[in-house]
A and B are shown apart, each in its own frame.
Chain A
Amino acid sequence: MMLRSVFAAAAGLLMSAAAVAETFTFTAIPDADESRLNARFGKVADYLSEQLGVDVKYIPVKSYPAAITAFRNDQVQLAWFGGLSGVQARALVEGSEAIAQGYEDQFFKTYIIANTSTEIEASDELPEDIKGKTFTFGSKGSTSGRLMPEFFIREAFNASPDELFSRVGFSGDHSRTISQVQSGVYQVGAVNYSVWDTEVEEGKIDTDKVKVIWTTPTYPDYQWTIRGDVDARYGEGFKEKVRTALLDMKDEDLLASFPRKSFVPASNDDYAPIERTGKAIGLLD
């Protein structure tokens, strides 16, 4: 398909942004269980295709920045982002908009978890004992695995993670954070509460080895972000159609891919606190 691609690329270069693709493509940040992404999100693509009356395709990505890049390069027009990656993506694509978030994302939170060998007890305040331990975040660009926990840790101890912990790592995703703290690779970690709860329910976590020691205050997180030019390209009112299709998604099987109870409306303004926090700890300019 290369020849066609070359022509498409050449045409794209000449006409600059004159869209050749009529397929509507979306992606999702790989934040947890990455196996069989195609099968899981393929079903979501089928659903959207049915609702929107256009071809909908899902492409898998390997990292948070890859999702942002795909969105910025117009390789995808819709993306399921985390709080921070959504802010980053919308800053890069003018006119793009957060259109829906998960019900749970209105009041998302992070669990600080610890290997039980540390004998740190759960408490209402961030336990002092985590000082000097080894610590892992999730992905470097994760909201619940990096941004918010780092913010609350800095706030509590008035020190950066590097100063506070004997070692700071980035596991890459939430599932891996859990398994690394469980196996003792790191003593303490920060994890997305929804991934933790789901995995506990599925019996994937050995709660004798790892437990939650603190829960952060709530903040807004994941959301669907869409490019600003979709109405011009897919027809008037397309953005609203996408929003409606997302809000109407009721099939539990589909919702389990995220995993969310349902989707509710969202706007760019909902994420102002995330942007402020990102700037406060130097992750955003």
Chain B
Amino acid sequence: MGGKSVSLAKGEKSKGEKPKGKKSTGARFRDLSLWFVLVAIVSLFFADIFLYQPDPWEEFTRIGWGMVTPFWPDANELLMSALYTVSFALLGVAVSAALGVLLAIWFHWRVVRVFSAVIRSVHEIFWGLLFMQVFGLSALTGLLAIIIPFAGIFAKVFSDVFHQQSSATVDTLAGSSRLSRFFYGWIPQAWPAMRSYIRYRFECALRSSAILGFIGLPTLGFHLETAFRQGDYSEAAAVFWVFLLLIGTVRFWFYKKLLPAYLLGAVFMLPEMPPVNASFVWQFFTQDLWPSPLLNGDLPGAMSWYGNVLADEVGPALIQTIAITQAALVLSGVMALAWYPFASRWLVGRYYWVGRFKLLVLRSVPELMLAYLFMLLFGPSALPAIFALALHNGGLIAFLLANHSQDASSQQRLDSPSGLARYFYQDLPQRYPAFLALLFYRWEVIMRESAMMGVLGIATLGFYVDSAFEEIRFDKAFFLILVAAALNVIVDSLSRRLRRAAGLKTPRM
């Protein structure tokens, strides 16, 4: 968006014309948005979009009926898996937040930044699949799958939070060590923001924990997947409602003062750990994860191995993953803009809570669950993935925008327009920078999720990862996971650059 910037000097503005060459902020946002829309439209031609199900309505009716007739034969079983879900989430967040603080303190070191970016670029499900090979279906697998990526995310966000604080307090601690400056200066100051982010992350952890059930851990996702797979929609609904209830009522059952008790309880709740064979762990990381020609020092052989994987799997998977991401990103944006006014009191009046409730449900339901549902309806093409990603992320962004819109009530003047006029001429233009910033922030997340959705049978990177695990080819699975990670690191840095170029601030979550 650089362009020539001579026009202002020539005084063209005084004639009441728009300066040529130098674009206004609005025009910059418009161009940026249009570019993304264009890319998304092109993506649709590459994405594998196909309606398998000739008659989805029959299935749809059955799912709908199941949703209103939830039923579970064994309450104890359901309760246990709900408790497992909470335990994994609690311990996962507690440990990863602590690690995140440590990483954030040394975030000025490039190696720490890169390390954090890499560990958060691998999806929980992929971490889970990897650790399952060594630690089995155990508590350790579930905990590590949450702790590792979450620590990377916490590191990035905490570091952003520290940067937003005033340095006045910390300046008085000049001369003391880096650690003291953080623990006596930055952290106490940033604590309210950190606490609210940890709370949000706990909700995410509940989602991740539930989702890990899809690969076999004993959390709610385990029963949900089974029930869906068997077409027992009443049972699926029972698990689903329990999960929503769990997330929706966090603030009623989570007492800060009882945190130590909760953590202790969570430790005792964790499922039992099978014995781990040290030589086996060693063999997994030093042998199994690497292609045999590489281990034998056969360089040409290794090259051809990587070449084959790149051509046969990585190529087609990348096209699908990127196409789905771009389409879902733009669709999320469209949905967010269409939905948020319905959840803002200033725009729709007193029924705003209906819209709010809808957005809360959408943001609470993990993408993978939504995708699974849509896959039952439309079959395993890119379509369910795009819809699921757009619904979840659109709902999440709309929810935040609605909050921003409500907070802007002080700008309500007597002559403020109402309804549509207020939306188009006042609220939307005011929200747009935050909207773009949030969307760019979610870009990386959407990419990670769309790669992972392959485990459902949609031909993104996850599909090939899953196949490689199925064929007990850990070397291939590991390489594909690394590719997915690299893709995320690239998107993350691209998003940061675009945000900076467009003059967008770090969004308020």
Q: Which of B205-248 contact A (CB under 8 A)?
A: 214-216, 222, 225-227, 229-232, 235
Q: Is the Cβ of A5 less than 8 Å from the Cβ of B277?
A: no
Across-interface contacts of A153 in B (CB, < 8 A)? none
Instruction: Judge whether A109 is part of the interface by a CB distance below 8 angstroms.
Output: no
Across-interface contacts of B135 in A (CB, < 8 A) = 73
B132 partner residues in chain A, CB cutoff 8 A: 66, 69
Interface of chain A residues 1 through 15 with chain B (CB within 8 A): 1-6, 8-9, 11-14
Residues of A42-101 whose CB lies within 8 A of B: 59, 61-66, 68-70, 72-75, 88, 92
The interface residues of chain A lying within 8 Å CB-to-CB of B470 are 63-65, 139-141
Residues of chain A with a CB closer than 8 A to B270's CB? 1-2, 5
Q: Which chain A positions have C-beta within 8 A of B230?
A: 33-35, 175
Return chain A residues, CB-CB under 8 Å to B232: 35
- The answer to whether A34 and B229 touch across the interface, beta carbons within 8 angstroms, is yes
Given A73-B274, A172-B229: A66 and B215 interface contact (C-beta under 8 Å): yes
Residues of A close to B214: CB separation below 8 A: 62
**What's the Cα separation between A64 and B215 when bound, in Å?**
11
Q: How far is the CB of B121 from chain A (nearest CB, A)?
A: 23
Most buried by A among B235, B273, B457: B273
Tell me the minimal C-beta distance from A32 to chain B in angstroms.
Answer: 9
Expressed in whole angstroms, the minimum distance between the Cβ of A169 and any Cβ of chain B is 6
Residue B278 CB within 8 A of the other chain: yes
Q: How many residues of B contact A (CB 8 A)?
A: 53
How far, in whole Å, are A192 and B310 apart by their CA atoms in the complex? 34
Is A183 touching B139 in the complex (CB atoms < 8 A)?
no
Nearest-Cβ distance from residue B292 to partner chain A, whole angstroms: 9
Contacts of B281 in A (CB 8 A): 13
For A37, list chain B residues within 8 Å (CB): 226
* Minimum CB–CB distance for A230 against chain B, Å: 15
Cα distance, A65 to B210, chains bound together (Å): 20
Scoring A4, A13, A35, A70 by chain B CB atoms within 10 A of each residue's CB, the highest score goes to A35
B53 and A75 contacting across the interface, CB-CB below 8 Å? no
Question: Shortest CB–CB separation between residue A78 and chain B, in angstroms?
Answer: 14
Contact A69 B136 (CB under 8 A): yes
Question: Which of B54-62, B329-337, B362-370, B430-438 lies on the face that meets chain A?
Answer: B54-62
Q: How far is the CA of A69 from the CA of B138 in the complex (A)?
A: 12
User: Nearest chain A CB to B279's CB is how many angstroms away?
Assistant: 6
Q: Are B73 and A36 in contact (CB under 8 A)?
A: yes
For B285, the chain A residues whose CB sits under 8 A away are: none
Q: Please, which residues of chain B bring their CB within 8 A of the CB of A63?
A: 215-216, 470
A218 at the interface (CB under 8 A from B): no
Q: Do A20 and B53 touch across chains, with their CB atoms under 8 A apart?
A: no
Looking at the assembled complex, report how far the CB atom of A91 sits from the nearest CB atom of chain B, in whole angstroms: 8
Contact of A134 with B216 in the complex, beta carbons under 8 Å: no
Contact of A12 among B53, B272, B276 (CB under 8 A): B276
- Shortest Cβ gap from A185 to chain B (Å): 5
Neighbouring A residues of B227 by C-beta, 8 Å: 35
A64 CB to nearest B CB, Å: 6
Q: Which of B373-412 contact A (CB under 8 A)?
A: 379-380
Given contacts A9-B275, A35-B232, A139-B470, contact A66 B268 (CB under 8 A): no
In the complex, A169→B384 CA distance in Å?
Answer: 15
Q: CA A87 – CA B226 in complex, angstroms? A: 26
* B471 on interface, CB distance cutoff 8 Å: yes
Minimum Cβ distance to chain A for residue B479 (Å):
16
B216 A185 Cβ-Cβ under 8 A: no
Contact B55 A184 (CB under 8 A): yes
A186 lies within 8 A of chain B by Cβ: yes
Which residues of B lie under 8 Å from residue A176 when comparing CB positions?
Answer: 229
**Alpha-carbon gap, A183 to B60, bound state (A):** 12
B20 to chain A, nearest CB (A): 52
Which residues of B313-335 have CB atoms within 8 Å of chain A's CB atoms?
none
Chain B contacts for A64, CB-based, 8 A: 470
* B216: chain A residues within 8 A (beta carbon): 61-63, 66
Most chain A CB within 10 A, of B52, B59, B225, B267, is at B52
**Residue with the greatest number of chain A CB neighbours at <10 A, chosen from B235, B466, B472:** B472
* Cβ-defined contact, B472 with A65, below 8 A: yes
**Known A-B contacts A21-B274, A183-B53, A185-B52; A75 and B215 likewise in contact (beta carbons under 8 Å):** no
A214 within 8 A of B: no
14 extra A-B contacts, CB within 8 A, seeds A140-B466, A141-B471:
A1-B270, A2-B273, A5-B139, A8-B275, A12-B277, A14-B278, A37-B226, A73-B135, A92-B472, A167-B52, A169-B380, A172-B457, A175-B229, A183-B58
